[in-house]
Structure 1
């Protein structure tokens, strides 16, 4: 089976050499699409012509099949092709985006994280590079949904919808038919300890595809004079007569509301000056609307089949 290692960044390149991974390609920490054109050349070596219906043909069908449990790819190359991505979630997102746009998601994808990784947690991967490398080389594929944005970017680990300058969110966020957040405009200087700060979404490893939760603190918490344990801080804030005890407390970052976690096939939002961040990379400009949804092709991922993704930690972000 042809196996190629994409070492993204200096740390990844050092690890790839140390572990002695096969067919190493040295890339930047977050490779640009133009630097990943060779993936198409490698794909064509084992599948010169894709006989299956194109994405446009599938979308034009009057009876597009319901996207249920993720399934193996319908393509049958002459032999399996595996890409091992060594790097960050952002690097993994860049590679998946290129493969999705070229319609090569039939290729097998393995991942070795070089830092804290939501994707690795979702896929049940070891944080030890040697163990992760052994798994990436030998474990079988276990399909998972492909989650993308309306801008054609794949979410590898997580994405957020927030306002500028860590302010409260102005707008509405919906998962399928369920409202996760609805908040009208508030004064910019108003930044409560716990409030309406947007949402965070994570790809699931099974149907329906996305799990999303409301952010009740900003991505960057405000510094305070003292630190209070999160559960105690949360309880005091929401208990009449005790909120004054939170004055001067450090604001924790990127906390999600445990009672506002929802699953669905799509996440939509409309509002003012929305910042879309995918795997730690923020869009260059704010937008008025954004959508994340499940792609027609599933990922062919080398992952732990018993992994359960979409578990939001109450005590902070898992990035």
Structure 2
């Protein structure tokens, strides 16, 4: 197979056959490639997008490869700009975030999506997800069984609380927070496939 100029692979997972001749890069040094193909899970994709956001390089196309078929799509497929959802720390969200009460307690405070109040008082938790279309995200209060009740779409979701745990793409934040915000960045990312 001939290599594709300007394309590199990043991630800790195994590299599918169609990508084996491509250079490997590290998330801390993504180089000057025009397209990156991530071979890891959601947390690795979020790390790559966070690095591109912080380096002001959202012109780089990003694909995900979990097997040979998705590798070929990530290598040759077109890219389209989709909303990029981030938080106040500059960390990108790719699948879902949760706001939960501390150590399994009820979440206390108030959560808002744009001008819509999700809850004011107590709730089992809140799930926030990016969307591929505008306005960019959706959020829902969770039931006691952890399922979303009713989705509200918007540009930003905000939480004010005496204390909450934040989980981004399966990764818990190192500290509890009193405020948390997820919002659409001014520029989207170039998603392949």
| 2:140 partner SS | strand
Q: Which has the larger radius of gyration?
A: 1
Q: 2:70: which partner in 1?
A: 132
Alignment of 1:23 with 2:22, yes or no, is yes
1:165 is displaced (CA, Å) by 1.7
Q: How does 1:163-174 map to 2 (within 5 A)?
A: 163-174=101-112
Give structure 2 stretches of 5+ with no counterpart: none
Q: 1:256: which partner in 2?
A: 148
> Structure 1 102/182 Cα, relative in aligned 2: closer, same or farther at 3 Å?
same
Distance in 1 between residues matched to 2:46 and 2:24, nearest whole Å = 17
Distance in 2 between residues matched to 1:141 and 1:17, nearest whole Å = 20
Q: 1:177: which partner in 2?
A: 115
Q: How does 1:175-254 map to 2 (within 5 A)?
A: 175-184=113-122, 196-217=123-144, 252=145, 254=146
Distance in 2 between residues matched to 1:204 and 1:17, nearest whole Å = 27
1:18 is displaced (CA, Å) by 4.2
Q: 2:168: which partner in 1?
A: 278
Distance in 2 between residues matched to 1:133 and 1:111, nearest whole Å = 7
Q: 1:112: which partner in 2?
A: 65
How many residues matched? Answer: 189
Name the one with the larger helix percent.
1
Q: 2:9 pairs with 5, 24, 31, which one?
A: 5
Q: How does 1:48-127 map to 2 (within 5 A)?
A: 81-113=34-66
Distance in 1 between residues matched to 2:94 and 2:181, nearest whole Å = 16
Distance in 2 between residues matched to 1:21 and 1:132, nearest whole Å = 14
Distance in 2 between residues matched to 1:20 and 1:138, nearest whole Å = 11
1:19 is displaced (CA, Å) by 4.5
1:21 is displaced (CA, Å) by 3.3
Q: What RMSD, in angstroms, separates the aligned Cα atoms of the two structures?
A: 1.6
| 2:72 partner SS | helix
Distance in 2 between residues matched to 1:202 and 1:262, nearest whole Å = 10
Is the CA contact 1:4–1:22 (under 8 Å) kept in the aligned structure 2? no
Is the CA contact 2:19–2:71 (under 8 Å) kept in the aligned structure 1? no
Distance in 1 between residues matched to 2:158 and 2:19, nearest whole Å = 43
Name the one with the larger strand percent.
2
| 1:105 partner SS | coil
Give structure 1 stretches of 5+ with no counterpart: 27-34, 44-80, 114-128, 185-195, 218-251, 304-319
Is the CA contact 2:11–2:44 (under 8 Å) kept in the aligned structure 1? no
Q: TM-score, normalised by structure 2?
A: 0.91
